[in-house]
Amino acid sequence: MDTPTQDEAQVDAPDFPAFIAQIAPDVPAHCILSRLDQTKAYECDGLSLYRCQPPVVVLPENEAQLIAVLAACRELNIPIVPRGTGTGLSGGATPHAQGVLVGLAKLNRILRIDPLTCVAVVQPGVRNLAVSEAAAPHGLYYAPDPSSQIACSIGGNVAENSGGVHCLKYGLTVHNVLRVRVVTIEGDVVELGGEAPDNPGLNLLSAFIGSEGMLGMVTEVTLRLIPKPELAQVVMASFPSVEAAGQAVTDVIADGIIPAGLELMDKRSVHMVEPFVKAGYDLEAEAILLCESDGTPDEVHDEIRRVEAIFNRVGATRLQTSQSEHERLLFWAGRKNAFPAAGRISPDYYCMDGTIPRRHLGRVLGAIEDMETQFGLRCANVFHAGDGNLHPLILFDANDPDEVERAEAFGVAILELCVEVGGTITGEHGVGIEKINQMCTQFRREELDAFSALKRAFDPYGLLNPEKVIPTLVRCAEHGKMHVQGGEIGFPDLPRF
């Protein structure tokens, strides 16, 4: 089939009755939602600033049904938006006004746990935490642990390259996925990667992970499992300033220590979380660090001793080390519940996601404090301090249009500051709709061209999650962010994708 042009794609509105009729022989009626009361729940992902009620939602129960859906969309030129469990925070699963939303939550079987090769083979709808629960009897677990791990799906983790509090030592999703089985827009089933230590050919697996549903749809994922450590302990350290806590992070890494987790929370976050979780956080501290060591008992005790010495040298005002597994999990529960705890002090919150060089932690957090005055909004800071992945929570009221506008502007200022100090606009939440304009700040024309070429190679029709992640060059020029040489743009607009 010839690839439709942008003009051709805009001539007619999609024929959804024809789409439903075409997939009806292959997809059960209870998997096709088209009434307004049925599709309302799918109008946004975890980033509720962007909403669009989808005309049709399809929830396939197996790979064959998904192939049928993609074939109908391709033949009728209907955009497709993939969705996991909807916990994403960049608008990546926001529906398309003239498209079909395809949810993979019903593909939720754990197909195989192999304790000998330390792998798990799962479908995309399996919850992150369910993998570790299934592997636990074998003394294994899955390392990436986003704060939403109780609800987020493996397919969504693959789409966004999710991390978690233990990503410093054990890596992001890309470091823990061995293989994905993918259905392309053409309906072909391909496998990227494999269980062998090395695989021939191009490393398309790494290109696919973090592609936000723009290159294909996952139906199966092979995950790396690792042995549970003999012992894990957390040092909770209080500091008189955010700058001191930031310096402690820098000194820990400079000393050659790679903790299992190294997380920072500022005073507002601590006061927000402690009444919610009752983890024993120091309410007098301007910032606290949670530093976890794991391994053999001797390794843990030695690392804890070194970490405590560094914290004391930097000026920690209080140190507390977990003395039981219950207490360790309680310390982490506070950090992992920071987002829902925001609901105790604000009607809404806007969670940002940017990454900076660790040496700039103090500078950036100080700038964010100044931005609170500039935009007239409060901000609580929690983040993966070890790898510089910030998660500022901008507190606002979504019922006040002016506050919504200021919250968005606040977020843009944070992201552009991240780029200014040599960082990036995302660490693990993806780009989606939220950060598409800041892609113009981060990347040059040649880089955006390369992204678009990769997209076109996988999806020549431009139907998979269109109008997200990769901005058109005209969009960049309109926002004054394109790096233009010679005073002219000098190139045509790219397709919608």
For 247-278, the DSSP string reads: HHHHHHHHTT---SEEEEEEHHHHHHHHHHH-
- % of the chain at pLDDT higher than 90: 85
Structure tokens belonging to residue 480? 């004054």
pLDDT for 491? 36
| pLDDT tens digits, 278-301 | 999 999 999 999 999 999 999 999
Distance of CA 249 to the CA centre of its chain: 23
Average pLDDT over residues 208-231: 98
Of 473 and 44, more confident: 44
Alpha-carbon distance 438 to 95, whole Å?
A: 21
Structure tokens belonging to residue 398? 């979504």
Alpha-carbon distance 448 to 48, whole Å?
A: 27
| pLDDT tens digits, 168-206 | 999 999 999 999 999 999 999 999 999 987 777 789 999
Q: Which of 426, 357, 362 is nearest to 386 (CA)?
A: 357
pLDDT for 475? 83
| pLDDT tens digits, 58-110 | 999 999 999 999 999 999 999 999 999 999 999 999 999 999 999 999 999 99
Alpha-carbon torsion, ordered 453, 459, 464, 466, to 10 deg? 40
CB-based contact 465:52 (threshold 8 Å): no
pLDDT for 481? 60
| pLDDT tens digits, 433-479 | 999 999 999 999 999 999 999 999 999 999 999 999 999 878 888 77
| pLDDT tens digits, 318-370 | 999 999 999 999 999 999 898 889 988 999 999 999 999 988 988 898 899 99
| pLDDT tens digits, 392-413 | 999 999 999 999 999 999 999 9
Residue partners of 32: CB distance under 8 A and separation at least 6: 20, 23, 24, 56, 57, 58, 59
**pTM assigned to the model:** 0.92
Residue 40 in this model has a pLDDT that exceeds 80: yes
Q: Which long-range contacts (CB under 8 A, 24 or more apart) does 68-71 make?
A: 68/23, 68/26, 68/27, 69/23, 69/27, 69/100, 69/102, 70/183, 70/184, 70/185, 70/187, 70/217, 71/187
Residue 7 in this model has a pLDDT that exceeds 60: no
Pairing label, strands 378-384, 226-227? unpaired
pLDDT for 19? 98
Structure tokens belonging to residue 191? 């496998």
SS3 165: coil
pLDDT for 199? 78
pLDDT for 462? 97
Average pLDDT over residues 219-247: 96
Between 27-41, 102-116, 230-244, 466-480, the lowest mean confidence (pLDDT) is in: 466-480
Alpha-carbon distance 240 to 172, whole Å?
A: 31
Average confidence score pLDDT of the chain: 92
pLDDT for 256? 96
pLDDT for 494? 42
Residue 390 in this model has a pLDDT that exceeds 90: yes
Residue 26 in this model has a pLDDT that exceeds 90: yes
Domains of the chain: 6-103 (3.30.43.10), 110-227 (3.30.465.10), 231-339 (3.30.70.3450), 346-420 (3.30.70.2740)
SS3 420: helix
**In the block, residue with structure tokens 């929370």:** 265
At residue 5 the predicted structure's pLDDT band, cuts being 50, 70 and 90, is very low
SS3 446: helix
CB-based contact 50:434 (threshold 8 Å): yes
CB-based contact 338:278 (threshold 8 Å): no
What sections of 337-486 are H helices per DSSP? 338-341, 361-375, 401-420, 436-442, 445-458, 473-478
Sign of the alpha-carbon torsion through 320, 321, 325, 331: positive
pLDDT for 143? 97
Q: Which of 416, 400, 401, 407 is nearest to 378 (CA)?
A: 407
Pairing label, strands 56-58, 100-103? parallel
| pLDDT tens digits, 247-281 | 999 999 999 999 999 999 999 999 999 998 999 99
pLDDT for 119? 98
SS3 91: coil
CA distances 360 to 246, 366, 443, Å, are: 8, 10, 21
SS3 301: helix
- How many Cβ atoms from other residues are within 10 Å of residue 43's Cβ? 16
